[in-house]
Amino acid sequence: MLATLTDTPFSHPAWIYERKLDGERCLGLRDGAGARLLSRSGQTLTSTYPEAADDLAHQPFPDFLADGEVVAFEGNRTSFARLQQRMGVTDEKQARASRIAITYYVFDLLRLDGLDLTGLPLRTRKALLRRALTYTSPLRFTPHRNSSGEAYLRQACERGWEGLIAKRADSTYVSRRSTDWLKFKCGSRQELVIGGFTEPQGQRVGFGALLVGSYEGRHLVTREGSAPATTETP
C-alpha cells in the first residue's frame, strides 16, 4: 500500500499519524520456509539485512507477514545516504560485518497465524501487530498519534524528519497507491551556488547535470560525485 502526497495537512479523529521514514520499504515474512525479507517488487533482501531476518525468525508466531521500512540513523535522524551503503550489499557475511547499523520499523500486519488481516481496520491491525511480535533491536514498532496532525507535523519538521504519513484509521490494506494513506512532507529551502553544468545527453534538453554548492559559514561547500571539496570565501 502506497501513500498519496498532499499539500494540505490536517487533524481529524478518524486518522492516525506516523513518522515518515527515509529508508527502504520491506515486507517481513515468516512461514514454513523460514523468515525472509522482501522488497516492494518481491526481490529478496534477507542477505542484505540478515539481523532483521534473525529477529523475525525468533518471534512467537510461526506464520505472519508484516509491512515496514528498514532505515539507518545519522545521529537521531534517518539517513537514506547512509542506508545506501547497506542496500548494495548482497553477501550475508559482508552485511553482518558492516558498520552501518540498521533498524527495521514495522507499521502494519497483513497476515497472522494463517489468517488474512488485510480486510480489517488499520487500528485493529496495528493493535494485533503490537501484541503479536516481540520488539528487540533491530526490530521496532512504529508508534503513531491519534490526533493533532498539524502540530505533529510542525514538530517533525523541527526535528529534521521527512514528514508524516496520515492514515485513515478504519482503512483496509490494498496493494496500490491510495488516498487512505497521505504524505505530509516537510518543506525546506536552500540557496545554492551553481558552479557548472554538463551538456544534455540522450533525450534531455537544456543541461545534463549541475555542480552546486552552499555556504557553511565562510566556506562554500560543493560536491562532485561523492567527494566533497571546500573553498574559502574572501
> Do 95 and 125 sit in the same domain of this protein?
yes
Where is 106: in which H helix or E strand? strand 103-112
> Do 103 and 165 sit in the same domain of this protein?
no
- The domain in which residue 3 lies consists of 1-17+147-188
Per the annotation, the verdict on 20 as an active-site residue is yes
Whole-model pTM: value is 0.79
> Do 85 and 5 sit in the same domain of this protein?
no
C-alpha cell at 39: 522488497
pLDDT in tens, the chain (234 residues): 999 999 999 999 999 999 999 999 999 999 998 999 999 999 999 999 999 999 999 999 999 999 999 999 998 889 999 999 999 899 999 999 999 999 999 999 999 999 999 999 999 999 999 999 999 999 999 999 998 999 999 999 999 999 999 999 999 999 999 999 999 999 754 556 787 878 776 655 556 677 777 655 556 766 554 333 333 333
Q: Of residues 20, 126, 167, 185, which has the active-site annotation? A: 20
| Under 8 Å between Cβ of 164 and 182 | no
pLDDT value of position 223? 56
214: helix, strand or coil? strand
Is residue 123 classed exposed, middle or buried when 0-12, 13-18 and 19+ CB atoms within 10 A define those classes?
middle
> Do 91 and 164 sit in the same domain of this protein?
no
Q: CB-based contacts of 119: which residues, under 8 Å, 6+ apart?
A: 172, 173
> Do 115 and 95 sit in the same domain of this protein?
yes
Of residues 26, 102, 92, the one with CA closest to residue 65: 26
